[in-house]
Structure 1
Amino acid sequence: MLALTRDDVRLKCKADDWQQALALAGAALVEAGFARPGYAGGLLERERQGSTWLGSGIAIPHGTPASRGEVVATGVRVLQFPDGVAWHDGHVVHLLVAIAAQSDEHLDILRQLTHALGRDGAEAMLARAEDADAIVAVLGHVETPPKLDADTLCLNLPVRSAAELALAAAARLQGLGCVQPAFVAAVASQPLIPLGPGLALVRSAQAVDVPALALATSQAPVEGGLFGVFCLAARGEAHRPLLERLEQLLARGAVAGLKGLSADTTLAVLAGEDGETHTGRVRLLNAHGLHARPAKLLVQTARAQSVPVRVRVLEGSPEAISAASLTKVLGLGARRGQTLVFSAHGETAEAAVAAMLAAVQDGLGESVQPLNEVVQPREVPAAQTEALPAAPEPGVAMAAIPASPGLAVAPIYVLRHPRFDYPEKAASPDHEIGRLDQSLAQAAQQLDVLIQGTQGAKVANILSVHIEMLADPGLRDAALESIHEGASAEAGWWHAIDTAASAQEALADRLLAERATDLRDVGRRVLCLLCDTPLPEPPDTPYVLVAEDVGPSDVARLDTSRVRALVTAKGGATAHSAILARALGIPAVVGAGEAVLQLTAGIELAVDGDAGRLIPAPDPETVRRFERRIEEQARIEQEAYQNRHEPACTRDGHRVEVAANLGNTAHAVDAVERGAEGVGLLRTEFIFMAHPDFPDLKTQIAEYGEAFDALAGRPLVARTLDVGGDKPLPYWPVAAEDNPFLGMRGIRLALSRPEVLETQLRALLMAAGSRPLRIMFPMIKDVEEFRAGKRVFDRLQAEIRAPDVQLGVMVEIPSSALLAASLAAEVDFFSIGTNDLTQYTLAIDRGHASLSAQSDAIHPAVLQLIRLTVEAAHAHGRWVGVCGELGSDPLAVPVLVGLGVDELSVTARRIPQVKAMIRRLGMPQARELASLALAQPTAAAVRQTLETAVAAALEPGQD
């Protein structure tokens, strides 16, 4: 944006004609270092194409697109001509605002200048000013325009009260940066001002940075038939246009029909467009938007019409301005790709709007290209577009996705895949086949060793799949085919791996995409052996691991006594790398971007896993600050651990159970030791994956009994066999599916082999005896699927008669949340699996290479489904748990408590901290945080809003 100073102004200039004035302007830009001498010719050529006279005695000479190569840096010089210069279009110019701009930055300058043109006496003031400061005061003063656009709309919300609507609108303004948290708090205490049937207004001037008007509407009327609340952020007199617009619309009764409208239609109503208005839309294709020349032609077209024509930018404010006013059209600041909306009234309105649309489509005097045509940037060599991203600046904080809580400062170790140098051809196929077979056998031995030493069943299971891949005859046969044609063992093997992985990636299926990653991981392991290239080894001193992504092989080799934090360029909060980091208790941020891979090995990196921030090469004060926070965090964690066996009750006495997620019954002892009040999710598939065939009744009873024994009377929630999708069983083949995640998995697969389900249910009931058992079916879509599983359960329970058993469902599919009321009438409990619920709700694979960063379970759509589930469950006297990764998220825990979740099941390492956080909460604050989160438009907005709000809610004395 233009920031004029007195040094930019040249007073009392003289010129005999407009050409001489332009020459002086060009020389001033060159003298200032903004342009090269050749730019003056561009100013002259631009003027020959069309006058740059703007109004109020001001002209704005600037170069042509062809002269942009002469621009060194964007800048402005202002030349005053008190006696005036006769311009070539017949006007008299007293002020030249000469612009050097490399792209379309001049649009911002034009938009700012238009604020000066409408002021009374501006021309005379600029012509006779004796001081540069006086000119700067006229041109440089810009009031912040009030904000009312599509971003300030929160429409059709599933709220239950007018207060929620007001908070939703206020929170939206906070998320947009218009107001600070104190504004939201002030709105919460303000009374609603009735505006008419179904509408109300709430306003505050506290903590307002940008004047704005938000609108929140409800799906169904709330108390008093209210369906919409306007929220006004008032500041001085700047918000006055917003109030005047609202008053005009109310007077005409235009806003009475806002109920249930889309954002587009709502903006049209707020723009004053009604049934008698003829409107038309057109995309602006001019390369540099509505700058002076096309704006002038647009205005001339509007003035030629027999009825007044108004125009607005669809992506901006609903305020429509006169298309016949050059200053107002320039003030729109419309850019290429935006949509102009023209409107008119009267008998010839349709023809007038059609003329405006045609003028824009024809380019307004310029050659235009469709948006889908790619224009090569001028003077940018192709090689530069493929250059690696620059390394982050030392000491400058970087934003990433918080994945695992905690803080760390340590030198970085950048994990990079080894580079292989091998011949493509070989003379002896037999020799190459022998080398390949030997390397395959050695790779399998390495994986066996890793499995024996790994920490956790999840990693071991995935490494077991890697061993199966090594034994895949199809891969070996494909490699042998290339070797028999003269390829080396290395080239033949990698060709087989790359071909198989690329074919799977092309299917755009998460399971197959993950298998493609596993294939390449396996392939590199064998290549390392063939090429005698050792796998990268981390240092033997503490370090922060930085990698593109982290796979199971990498995790299996981690020495958790040395790794202080994990940072990945890719991935999201529910990616495997994030889940593994949380399971190991390692601070982690993910999705940091490719630039993080350019950091120099050995420099220090400060990692904040709670906020998702990185600081490369932090200064000594930052390091000391982090060290103090680490010490404080260690103290809090130590205190939490000491009180781990205390119940998780809020400050006002509300109890929330905190249980453990387990993937192995052997870990139940550790979970109890860490304060678990039970097992909230036992992933029973681990038993099946650990055996070469279906485990029999005796085996399963023994496995489940181990967990019951460790729990000593605490409840155990067991999920029935959940395989299929990303968890196939080698001995339970499933027909190939285009999308296994929407196919035979979970309860659907189990019901296809009822004898397998029956054996498991029998084993669970017999192992439990008189101890508390909670059984839940996975991937239930509606009550019919639940009833099908329940019929098997009821038959066995009638036989075994276990005294303390409940039967529930996992809520992992949006349909089960939306139908929670019908399910709640028949189930005993719900457990919400937020990992799958998130990916099915947002239609994003959490393992997707480029989209996984957006798969965040704190997304308001997921939170709304949790709210629906809790409300339906409590209405029928049922309890609700959350067993997904969201239950461990420090920002999400207060929200889940505020939504009424009764149980949180988290990784065992996080139990003491989650219980401690709940003990610091008050229920009123938790409910307020839940309302704030639900009112946000995106996951990022939720996190931004909660970052400070949660910290405030956890402070003592907030009841």
Structure 2
Amino acid sequence: MNPIILTSPLQGWASSLEAVPDPVFAERMMGDGIAVDPTGNCLHAPCDAVVLSVHASGHAITLRTPEGAEILMHIGLDTVALGGRGFTPCVAEGASVQRLDPLIRFDLDLLVCEARAVITPVIVTNPERFTIVRRETDKLVGVGEAMMTLEPRVDAADMAVVEGDTVRRTIVVPLVHGIHARPAARIGETARKFASEVKISKDERDGNVRSPVALMALGLKLGDEITLAATGPDAADALAAIGDLILGGMGEKAGSGAPTPPTAAPSTSVFPREGGGPGTTNDGAAGSWPPASAGERGAASAKVLTLPADGRLPGVTASPGIAIGQAGLFRLAEIAVTREGSGATAERTALDAALATVTDRLATKSATAIGAERAILTAHTALLDDPTLTDAAHAAIAQGDSAAYAWRTAIRAQADALKATGDARLAERADDMLDLERQVLRALAGEDLDERLTFPPGTILLADDLLPSHLLGLDTASIVGFCVERGGPTSHVAILAATIGLPALVAVGPALAEITAGTPLILDAGAGLLHVAPDAETQATAQTAFDAQTERRRAALANAARECRTQDGVRIEAFANLGSADDADAAVRNGAEGCGLLRTEFLFLERDSAPSVDEQTADYQRIADTLDGRPLIVRLLDIGGDKPAPYLPIAAEENPALGLRGIRVGLAHPEMLDAQLRAILTVRPAGQCRIMVPMIASLAELRAVRAALDAAAAAIGHTEHVALGIMIETPAAAITADLLASEADFLSIGTNDLTQYALAMDRGNPAVASDLDGLHPAVLRLIARTCEGGAVHGKWTGVCGGLASDPLAVPILIGLGVTELSSAPALVPEIKAVVATLTIDACRAHAAAAMNCISAADVRTLARSFRP
């Protein structure tokens, strides 16, 4: 049977059913489909069909296609109460109609005034027989435009092959992101409802569907052909349920326009994952860092790395400052285990007790955790409960292995399988598993589970690359700075380093791996240099500079509570960028006058479903309470690009930085945008929160968000004005700032992305990291244009990107017209201290000179010589 194409019966805005404010439709109680918010006044036939019924009040009609698909179209909500007023049916029951024939004419003005809503669901009421394989939503549609494509369901029994007591079925994976953590968990949950054992196989490898880890290890991607095999008393039913679940897409089904899946899933992360996380592969296991010695690498490469003769390694400043100390290498010692057990019963009892101890600890910590920490703990709990791991460990114990050896063997087999898929997301799950390995082994040994990676005081940490989780797992009281071989100055690790207040260099290069632990180092991050084994004179000079830096910071912190003003009295707001209540506490202690950027994506990442309204509200309220009345600017979800969420059906993109990210994701998923807006509006006291929209490129996007905000406010009875501002992160937004400022309440420049897009350099690409600098004259001119555009309408312009945390950039930004600086919490006192030395006239002259430089390097040279 050929696919059935349904065209739009109305002119208007097409949405998913979740946008319908009625659970009967939104929860698909009557079937699956889409909805159209009409701008016309006539309902047309979406295909050739027979009219099954026309409701007596004329507000709804049901059609049946020649193939048997039954289509219900319900004009508006609660329109039955109008008793037929405003509706004029054009056809009667039993009539044959052709595509585009008029079905019902209606008075749109009357419906708008008297009905609860005019949004019109178009529903396939027999979804057990037909599957929607493509739908067009979140766009304007005209009458007759293709809207949905249906395909008949094939009975599982017709697809199945019976071989003895095993039933098999072959299907093609329709999920755009493949079978990753979330769908694997749902498949496992479905499988546990049946007594039969079900396996999925591909290319001679198979996995038990009850095990999320086993399924992920198969590396199943969009378009892969897989075979399901069920054995047991209810094999046919289990096979049908699991097969239909996968074919249904679980909210991640690719449309026919989805790109062909690549042979290896591209990584959208800005952090290459060849190493591991804290407590995982950095313990001497495969993938640890430093890599093999130069001699060991000789077989693979003719190039032997050596340190420069003068011991000076250049890098790119991620977080300025001076640090003096010794080298510490980012790796952990292997936990020793013995293979021979002391009896299967004793070892199994010990393992089960250790697993229960770790599970309880995760539950206890999850109860009070927020943001990224809570998401990581949730992921660990799910992995710990995977039957593949426990079954494999129990089997090894039965063969005589100790509980510790059996657990390590089970974990590493699955972790290696996940890494072998070549999928960056699955490699991250492998790191989580190796982290769990250490926790369970420590529980077996009776050791404290709150293991913290510690280094001697004065350690300068060296690694090939770091993730935010790496830094969060380190003892920052002993670490005075860090350097990484790769990365970029606008990466999230660089942002986190500035938040913590650690001097840091990135993109130092592979020579960093030649340094041995304990080597004396001087890190002059502001100058972009790491001095290896410096001589006495260099050490003395660095110590003098460090002492001066320490004194400046002490004085700045002592005066941090003062209102931020220039020397000649101009008010500059000194805000802080936050990601949690802990950040907010640090910001208040450092004298921040508010939050200029609350990153909300940490609530949405590293989890299998979006956070609820209540969950979001609790986190936002906690941060607002910590700020104690100070302004809180909440950035709407900035996801996509380098921050994918597995539960969002975003197709693989050749260039994610230029694809569906920022507010584009919110507008594509209005139900998620609405939930976040409602959560922000619920925070008390009303008015403390302001809302900021990421990645704006046009006035139309801002208007769409404004409409969504108004709708959310009306839905919950919120009547107070809420400031709605925008982030300037694209050259388009900077150039048209005057147009955007006519409707935005404020402008805030995200210099990290603005730099990336202005210079056409991927901020996650180490090959261009050294040239990616927000003080490039082109970026400065875009900032100037933004400030001028905002001033036309009396709107203030701030900076919440990396430049606001760079003391060298502050005088230039103020000279360009910036009146709010939102920096890392630890740097707020220093930023305030810098502002207090400035005069507006001097800053303006300095900024004009900076814009006339020919490179970022020249601007930095000029900035270092600036004396207010």
For normalisation by structure 2, the TM-score amounts to: 0.55
Matched, 1:949 2:842: no
CA shift for structure 1 position 882? 1.4
> Matches of 2:302 and 2:394 in 1, distance apart?
35
Q: 1:905 aligns with which of 803, 818, 822?
A: 822
> Matches of 1:658 and 1:814 in 2, distance apart?
25
More helix by share: 1
> Matches of 1:480 and 1:832 in 2, distance apart?
55
The answer as to whether partners of 1:717 and 1:774 remain within 8 angstroms in 2 is yes
The answer as to whether partners of 1:661 and 1:680 remain within 8 angstroms in 2 is yes
AA aligned to 1:590 is V
Q: How does 1:459-474 map to 2 (within 5 A)?
A: 461=375
2:526 partner SS = coil
> Matches of 2:729 and 2:378 in 1, distance apart?
27
AA aligned to 1:952 is S
Aligned equivalent of 2:521? 605
The answer as to whether partners of 2:777 and 2:859 remain within 8 angstroms in 1 is no
1:913 partner SS = helix
Q: Assess, with a 3 A threshold, how the Cα gap between structure 1 residues 490 and 801 changes in structure 2: closer, same or farther.
A: closer
Aligned equivalent of 2:459? 543
Deviations, residues 623-675 of structure 1 (Å, cap 9, x unaligned): 22222222211211111112112232223333221111111245434423321
Aligned equivalent of 1:297? none
2:569 partner SS = coil
Q: Assess, with a 3 A threshold, how the Cα gap between structure 1 residues 671 and 383 changes in structure 2: closer, same or farther.
A: closer
Deviations, residues 174-212 of structure 1 (Å, cap 9, x unaligned): xxxxxxxxxxxxxxxxxxxxxxxxxxxxxxxxxxxxxxx
Provide structure 1 residue ranges, at least 5 long, that are not aligned to the other structure: 1-380, 424-431, 482-487, 506-511
1:856 partner SS = coil
Matched, 1:399 2:314: yes
Aligned equivalent of 1:292? none
The answer as to whether partners of 1:725 and 1:743 remain within 8 angstroms in 2 is yes
The answer as to whether partners of 1:412 and 1:602 remain within 8 angstroms in 2 is yes
Deviations, residues 560-589 of structure 1 (Å, cap 9, x unaligned): 221121121221212233222222222212
- Structure 1 range deviating more: 700-709 or 866-875: 700-709
Deviations, residues 141-191 of structure 1 (Å, cap 9, x unaligned): xxxxxxxxxxxxxxxxxxxxxxxxxxxxxxxxxxxxxxxxxxxxxxxxxxx
CA shift for structure 1 position 790? 0.7
Aligned equivalent of 1:657? 573
Q: Assess, with a 3 A threshold, how the Cα gap between structure 1 residues 615 and 670 changes in structure 2: closer, same or farther.
A: closer
Q: Paired residues, what number? A: 560
CA shift for structure 1 position 898? 2.0
Q: 2:793 aligns with which of 873, 876, 889?
A: 876
Q: Assess, with a 3 A threshold, how the Cα gap between structure 1 residues 859 and 459 changes in structure 2: closer, same or farther.
A: farther
1:580 partner SS = helix
Q: 1:668 aligns with which of 584, 597, 600?
A: 584
2:552 partner SS = helix
CA shift for structure 1 position 926? 2.5
Aligned equivalent of 1:783? 699
> Matches of 1:788 and 1:929 in 2, distance apart?
39
Aligned equivalent of 2:831? 914
CA shift for structure 1 position 472? 7.8
Matched, 1:582 2:582: no
2:683 partner SS = helix
Q: How does 1:453-852 map to 2 (within 5 A)?
A: 457-458=371-372, 461=375, 497=415, 500-501=418-419, 503-504=421-422, 512=424, 516=427, 519=430, 522-523=433-434, 526=437, 538-665=454-581, 667-687=583-603, 696-729=612-645, 732-739=647-654, 740-797=656-713, 800=717, 802-803=719-720, 805-848=722-765, 850-852=767-769
CA shift for structure 1 position 743? 4.1
> Matches of 2:392 and 2:791 in 1, distance apart?
58
AA aligned to 1:831 is S
The answer as to whether partners of 1:641 and 1:912 remain within 8 angstroms in 2 is yes
Q: How does 1:10-25 map to 2 (within 5 A)?
A: none
Q: Assess, with a 3 A threshold, how the Cα gap between structure 1 residues 525 and 706 changes in structure 2: closer, same or farther.
A: closer
Matched, 1:862 2:779: yes
> Matches of 2:770 and 2:383 in 1, distance apart?
28
The answer as to whether partners of 1:549 and 1:577 remain within 8 angstroms in 2 is no
Deviations, residues 88-139 of structure 1 (Å, cap 9, x unaligned): xxxxxxxxxxxxxxxxxxxxxxxxxxxxxxxxxxxxxxxxxxxxxxxxxxxx
> Matches of 1:848 and 1:471 in 2, distance apart?
37
Provide structure 2 residue ranges, at least 5 long, that are not aligned to the other structure: 1-296, 339-346, 396-405
The answer as to whether partners of 2:579 and 2:602 remain within 8 angstroms in 1 is yes
> Matches of 2:428 and 2:611 in 1, distance apart?
30
The answer as to whether partners of 2:453 and 2:474 remain within 8 angstroms in 1 is no
Q: Assess, with a 3 A threshold, how the Cα gap between structure 1 residues 480 and 911 changes in structure 2: closer, same or farther.
A: same
The answer as to whether partners of 1:572 and 1:856 remain within 8 angstroms in 2 is no
AA aligned to 1:784 is A
Deviations, residues 515-545 of structure 1 (Å, cap 9, x unaligned): 6466457558759989999999654443211
The answer as to whether partners of 1:659 and 1:677 remain within 8 angstroms in 2 is yes
The answer as to whether partners of 1:768 and 1:802 remain within 8 angstroms in 2 is no
Matched, 1:890 2:807: yes
1:805 partner SS = coil
The answer as to whether partners of 1:414 and 1:547 remain within 8 angstroms in 2 is yes
The answer as to whether partners of 2:454 and 2:475 remain within 8 angstroms in 1 is no
The answer as to whether partners of 1:680 and 1:905 remain within 8 angstroms in 2 is yes
Aligned equivalent of 1:311? none
Q: Assess, with a 3 A threshold, how the Cα gap between structure 1 residues 541 and 408 changes in structure 2: closer, same or farther.
A: same
> Matches of 2:315 and 2:413 in 1, distance apart?
35
Q: Percentage identity across aligned positions?
A: 38
Q: CA RMSD in A?
A: 4.8
1:564 partner SS = strand
CA shift for structure 1 position 690? 9.5
CA shift for structure 1 position 913? 0.6
AA aligned to 2:705 is G
Q: Assess, with a 3 A threshold, how the Cα gap between structure 1 residues 502 and 635 changes in structure 2: closer, same or farther.
A: same
Q: Assess, with a 3 A threshold, how the Cα gap between structure 1 residues 383 and 440 changes in structure 2: closer, same or farther.
A: farther
Q: Assess, with a 3 A threshold, how the Cα gap between structure 1 residues 751 and 821 changes in structure 2: closer, same or farther.
A: same
The answer as to whether partners of 1:713 and 1:771 remain within 8 angstroms in 2 is no
Aligned equivalent of 1:148? none
Q: Assess, with a 3 A threshold, how the Cα gap between structure 1 residues 774 and 742 changes in structure 2: closer, same or farther.
A: same
> Matches of 1:703 and 1:523 in 2, distance apart?
29
> Matches of 1:604 and 1:710 in 2, distance apart?
40
Q: Assess, with a 3 A threshold, how the Cα gap between structure 1 residues 500 and 436 changes in structure 2: closer, same or farther.
A: farther
1:610 partner SS = helix
Aligned equivalent of 1:408? 323
Q: Assess, with a 3 A threshold, how the Cα gap between structure 1 residues 573 and 416 changes in structure 2: closer, same or farther.
A: same
AA aligned to 1:778 is P
CA shift for structure 1 position 768? 4.3
> Matches of 2:653 and 2:353 in 1, distance apart?
36
Q: Which has the higher contact order (CA 8 A, sep 6+)?
A: 2
AA aligned to 1:949 is L
> Matches of 2:377 and 2:737 in 1, distance apart?
38
Q: How does 1:111-122 map to 2 (within 5 A)?
A: none
2:842 partner SS = helix
CA shift for structure 1 position 618? 1.9
Q: Assess, with a 3 A threshold, how the Cα gap between structure 1 residues 792 and 588 changes in structure 2: closer, same or farther.
A: same
The answer as to whether partners of 2:315 and 2:770 remain within 8 angstroms in 1 is no
The answer as to whether partners of 1:568 and 1:590 remain within 8 angstroms in 2 is yes
CA shift for structure 1 position 922? 2.8
> Matches of 2:556 and 2:650 in 1, distance apart?
49
Structure whose CA Rg is larger: 1
AA aligned to 1:715 is P
Q: Assess, with a 3 A threshold, how the Cα gap between structure 1 residues 421 and 720 changes in structure 2: closer, same or farther.
A: same
Aligned equivalent of 1:386? 302
> Matches of 1:409 and 1:916 in 2, distance apart?
24
- Structure 1 range deviating more: 626-635 or 408-417: 408-417
CA shift for structure 1 position 493? 6.5
Q: Assess, with a 3 A threshold, how the Cα gap between structure 1 residues 477 and 897 changes in structure 2: closer, same or farther.
A: farther
